[in-house]
Every structure is written in structure tokens, then in C-alpha cells.
Structure 1
Amino acid sequence: MPDEAATTSPGHLDSLTVEEEGKLQEAWIHLLRLCGVEESAKLETPNQTQEFREHLSDKSADGFRHRLWTFILADHPDVLVLRFLRARKWDVEKAVAMLVSALNWRHERRLEDDIVNKGDSIGLAETQSDDEKRFLAQYQSGKAYIRGSDKEQRPVFIIKVRLHDPKLQSPESMEAFVLHNIETIRTMIRHPNEKACLIFDLTGFGLKNMDFHVVKFLVQVFEARYPEYLGVVLIHNAPFVFWGIWKMIQPWLDPVIASKINFTSSNGDLARFIAQENLQKCYGGKDSWEYNYVGPVKGENAGMGLEKKQQVEADRTVLLRQFEQLSLEWVRAKPDSPDAVQKVAERRELAEQLRENYWHLDSFVRARTYYDRVGVIGRLGEVDYKAAT
């Protein structure tokens, strides 16, 4: 059942003020122009397409459209745009520039090709590079996993820092591991519960576990590339040695991220955020589950690259072009008019069709993960955060 607080949070899809909806419409005008939608050039909003394209290495409209809709995944398209608007305090120009920059970063990092489309399926290859072996070792170690949800129905991502040794893998393989986990979490969250709960478990933490590169990378990607994905961050059982390190880390934190951080040291502290039935026994809760990595099996990605993909993609192209056209009509409609209300309803219905379409496409573009194998993520996107037993 959706959390009431999540459905009424200011600046979110179901709780926009007239001014915020106007900002969202303005952002879509810029995005439609970048996608090459000709009619959008006629709208009154100043055309800044050339300025925004300066953030792109591939400045083609088709390339931009592809990257935008790949980033959207299965959620209502407005949800992604609103993340960037909130992150830039409703400054439309800054928000669109930030989103365009994030899309370019994803393209240059080959995020879809090298992270999402491969994942830990590289374990099926006859030979692996050293970085690929180290990437797999992160999953096998149990140092990080998703289990259960918090009181606001957000997935709980637990990082057991004592199991991390920065000397055992390259920064590149750790970055790939971090990004693959973030992308996996993204497949599990959707409106109105749009964020995640992170627990940094510092039980048994020592200086040998400290990895400044990973910390900086996490701060950078959550601030600039995945804004508004963090709901709450719990730093649990921090030992005395950590507090000197904390003084070094604090200046790196964006104020918004810093405001989400809470320090916990007991079951009672954690219980403020996570119900006992969703809290593992190692934290004083009632959940007896323990992580046991289940690796890829031959044939699990057999659907990827088949001819059926072309038909699903063709269907998606039709739907997203319809969504673009509806967005133009929504922008043109007089605020609060019956026509505007109708366009909002039609866009929401079409967004649902896009969501369903994505999950038919999913098996062609995303390698199966541990969470698919154990049933946390269902074939059509259903999520059960405690399916793994």
C-alpha cells in the first residue's frame, strides 16, 4: 500500500502547485525541442536548444531522444524530469542542463551497454578480465544487497563496510559495481515511492576498509547523475575511528544529501525507519534471511537481441511519439481548464502503457540480476522486496 507521506510530498507528481506544473511544462518544451519535435519550436518559451546541446557529445535529436527514454525506464516520464527540477530548486534552465549533462554522462560511460546489458552475466563467459572478476567478487562477497523496505515502502540497500577492502579491486570495477546496483534499484522503485533507504553498516569497520574514492564517487553520482533517489541514509554502528574520517567527508556532501543522513547505533534507532518484520535479525529485527549470492545461469538472457525486440521497440516508438504530442497539447492548454485536466489524464494513461511496454522490452535490454533470479523482480516488473528466502 503506498505510503501517504510519499503521495503528498511537495513537488511530486500528485502534489504540484500551479507554478510547479508550469515549470514542468517549460522543462518539457526544452526536452521536446531537443528531441526534434518541430511544433515545440513555435511555443513562446525562449529556444535554448543550442545552449543545452553544448552539454552533449552527440548533438543529434534522435540520439537525445533515445538516451532520454532509456533513462526514463518504466516510470511516468514526469517523475524523472521532476527529480531534476527539485534538485535545482525549480530553476528550469539549470534543471534541464543538469538532466542533459546526466544523459551525456550515461552515454559516454556506456552505461546501458557495459553495465545494464551485461551486469553479472559476465560470469557466464569462458574468460573474464581482471576487472570483470573483481566486479563479480563484489556480489559474491555479500558486502552490499537489497533486503526489505522501510516504513515509507522504499527498498533498503545495505552496505556492510567491514567486508570491503579497497586493495582487492580497481576503482573502475568498484564504480561499475556501484552503478549496477543503482540501476538495479531503479528497476524496483516507482511513483509514489520514488526513493531508496541506504544503510552503511559500520559494525567492525577499520581504517583498512575506508575507500575515499568510492565515497567521493557515491556523493558525485547521487548529487549530479541520480538526484532525488536517496530517501534516507543511515550510518549504523559508527566506531570511534570513523569520526575523524567523518570530518573529512562532511565538506564533500551536498546540503540536500547531508540532510538525509542519520546516525543509528541500536535496534531502537533503526526501528524508527524500518519495521521489525523487515529488519534482519543481525540488526535486532525478526527477518532471519541472510544473503546468499545466486549467480547467472546459462540461457537466462536468451531473449536479448531476438527479432521480437524490434517489434516491441517499434511499439514503444509509437507510444513515446504519442506522449510527446500529448505533452505539446498539455502545454498549450489553458491551466486548470477542462482541456488541461483531460490532457493530464491522457498523459497518465499513456505513461501506464509505456510502463507496460518497457517490461516487455526489459528482457532484451537488461541482463538478469540476482534479484530477478530469486524473484524480487518479477517478469513484468512486479516487486517483492522479501521474495528471496
Structure 2
Amino acid sequence: MPADIVAVPPGHLGNLTNQEERKLQEAWIHLLRLCGVQESVDHETPDRTAAFQEHLSDKSTDNFRQRLWSFILADHPDVLVLRFLRAREWDVEKAVAMLVSALNWRQEQRLEDDIVRRGDSVGLATNKEQSADEKSFMAQYRSGKAYVRGADKERRPVFIIKVRLHDPKLQSPESMEMFVLHNIETMRTMIRHPDEKSCLIFDLTGFGLKNMDFHVVKFLVHVFEARYPEYLGVVLVHNAPLIFWGIWKMIQPWLDPVIASKINFTSRNADLARFIAQEQLQKCYGGKDSWEYKYIEPVEGENERMQSEKKEEVEAARGELVRQFEQLSLEWARVKPGSAEATQKETERRDLGEVLRESCWKLDPYVRARTYYHRAGVIGPLGVVDYQAAQ
């Protein structure tokens, strides 16, 4: 296979069986009904809307539609839906229920309003204006305990967590959850189909009991299993000291079998090199990358577009594209997978999905506070990503 051709894994967009395509169509019918697309009620798929709405605190179709498209972000809409279908082994009703539950959870967490929209812009406030949780949120970014650097051999972003720099006594559980979710939401902007997953390194060099945070471990297990399924590609637990293995016996029973299967233990730099090329690996791990993390503070005025009157115009343009995609999805869901008509509709949806992706990046500066990765040049204009951008 030529180096520039990327193999798409089975069950992912671009490599679906006719049966999987049919499951995807059924999932979209359920979602379109929840979005209030009235024409979808005529489809042969049984109506489970009332049952799905039991997972929602707000049953408004307009609110559900807005939450769904905010979650989809800048990827092809099918990519998100397929994550949940794979996570529930292609049981459509369980997958849609899981997705609906995740959307409800995102609203309860105020993810778009408090975490995505505000992010580390809270660092622009004076010390007196910041809450205790906001202060500790910023302190965690400045500490360098967690950051993205490089990509592994599967082209997945490498997210490094230096556990020795974490002290659970220095921040509240709520602040830590906010920090975790902001990192996940930011990392999601760096992931692109067909490379839809991430590589996590838990660096346990210098780890001691004072660094152990059972609340964070449980929270991470929960969100990656139930709220962000299929985002983990591989987890590398690196350089674990002897004291860790007793803790590991306590953690193991909490792990979903799928997540557990992704965990690898590495004890030498050579072990990491099996997963990450030397050019992409920092020197502290035996690689050739001399870069070291240094947090770049937010800058006054970097989020001025969030207050711009043009936001409504950009949102309206994207909203029209969403409406077109919903109608096209309805037409596609009514044709038999594998037919010539289905192939035509799939092509039209793929092309429109690309336009949607571009529209999301045009909207992004109006709804997301700039992050360290924007300031460092890792995330560039229109979402172009360079995992090894120099600071």
C-alpha cells in the first residue's frame, strides 16, 4: 500500500458492510426524529423517540438538535454516530440511548458554556476575580502535568500525563474534572478521520502515594467508556514503580474490558519506541524531539470574535448546511445500502460533510476560547494541526 494511502479500519466511515450501513441509517432516523425532522416519522424504523427522551432533562427538539451538532464538531457527522454504534456492538437502540445520555450529561456539565467557551481565558481575569477552582485550573496548565506532543505510529496525537506533578490536595475534584474535560475537548479538535483515536502516556516516573488520585482515575474511566467512546487507541503506562502494582490491583476491576485491552505497560524508552517514532518522541523518553513544555499565557483580545456581531451570520450559514445535511440524510436512509442510488447519496453526504467541517472551523473562534495549542501553533487556521509545532 502506498505511504500516502491510509487504511480505514472496519466499521469506520469508508469501510462499512451493507449491514453496518443499514444500522447507521437506522441510528440517523432516530436522531432526526429527536431533532424534530418531521419527515422522518414515515420511515419503517420503529419510533423509539419517547424512550430516548427519558434520558434527557430538556426534551425540546431545538435544544437536542443544537446539542447534537455542538458535539459533532468539525468531523463528518457519521464519525460520531459510528463511535457509539461500535461501542454498543451495533445495537442501534442501545447506541442511540448512549449518545442521547451523553448529550444530556454534556448539558448538565455545561460543557459548551463553561468549559469550551471559557477554557483558559479565565486566566485573563485578575487574581481577585478568579474563583478558587479557576485558579487551580490555570495552575494545572502551568504545571505541565498534561499536554499533547507528537503523534504515534498510527498517526494518533500523543497525550502525556506526568503523574508525579499531580497532587490531589492542590485542587478540588470539580476543578480537576474541569481540567480533564477541557483537555479532552481540546484534543478532540486535533483528531481527524480516519485517524480517530488518541495515544495516552501515563508517565509514572517518580510516582509516589501522594500522587495517587482515585477520583480522577474513576472519572477518566467513566468518561472514556460512557461519554467519549472509541477515542482511546492505546494507553501506555510507563515506568511504573513497585508501589504502583498494589494500586493497580485495585484499579483493574473498574476497567471496562475494551479499555483494559488497550493498556500496555512500558518500562524502558525502547518500549515506547515500539509505539512512537523517535522523531515524534521527546528526548526525555529516548527520542529526538528536544521540545519541552512551557505554558503560553492567554493574551488580551485573542477571544474578541466571541463578542462579534458576525457570530450570528456564521452560525446561520452553518445552520443552513446542517438543515441540508439532515434532509440529505433522510433521503439516504430511505434507500437500500449497496444500491447505485445509495452510492450516489453517500457521495453527496460525504461532500456536504466536508463543507460542514470547514464551516465549523469558521465558527470555532466565535464559540471556543483560544487554547494553549492555538497560541503555540499546534492548532492553526481552519483547524490545521501540527503536533510538533515549535513554541
TM-score (structure 2 length as normaliser): 0.98
Unaligned runs of 5+ in 2: none
5 Å-filtered alignment, 1:1-389, equals 7-126=7-126, 127-389=129-391
Counterpart Cα distance in 1 of 2:215 and 2:390: 32
CA drift at 1:307: 1.1
Contact 1:2 1:192 in 2 (8 A): no
How far apart are 1:6 and its partner, in Å?
6.3
> What is the deviation of 1:306?
1.1
Q: Give distance in 2, aligned partners of 1:245 and 1:334.
A: 52
2: CA distance, partners of 1:86 / 1:388: 36
Could you tell me which amino acid in structure 1 is paired with residue 340 of structure 2? P
- Aligned-partner residue type, residue 173 of structure 1: S
**1:3·1:152 contact (CA, 8 Å) conserved in 2?**
no
AA of the residue aligned to 2:38: E
Secondary structure of the 2:233 match is: strand
Task: State the TM-score, normalizing by the size of structure 1.
Answer: 0.98
Residue by residue over 1:1-47, the C-alpha shift from the partner in whole angstroms, topping out at 9 and shown as x without a partner, is 99889633111001101110100000000000000001100001100
Conserved? CA contact 1:154–1:197, under 8 Å = yes
State the distance in 2 between where 1:4 and 1:183 align: 28
Instruction: Note if contact 1:151-1:273 (Cα within 8 Å) is conserved in structure 2.
Output: yes
The unaligned stretches of length 5 or more in structure 1 are none
> Residue by residue, what CA displacement relative to the aligned partner does 1:35-89 show, whole Å, maximum 9, x if unpaired?
0001100001100000000000110110100000000000000000000000000
> CA RMSD, aligned part only?
1.3
- 62-71 vs 118-127, which moves further: 118-127
Secondary structure in structure 1 of the residue aligned to 2:264: strand
Check the 8 A contact 1:7/1:14 in 2, yes or no: no
Q: Give the deviation of 1:109 after TM superposition.
A: 0.7
Q: For the residues of structure 2 that align with 1:304 and 1:171, how far apart are their CA atoms?
A: 29
Distance in 1, matches of 2:294 and 2:95, equals 40
SS at match of 2:298: coil
**Which shows bigger deviation, 291-300 or 8-17?**
8-17
- 1:16 is matched by which residue type in structure 2? L
Give 3-state SS (helix, strand or coil) of 2:158's partner.
Answer: strand
Residues 204 and 238, structure 2, Cα contact 8 Å, conserved in 1: yes
Question: Number of matched residues?
Answer: 389
Report SS of the residue matched to 2:369: coil
- How many Å separate the matches in 1 of 2:328 and 2:232? 31
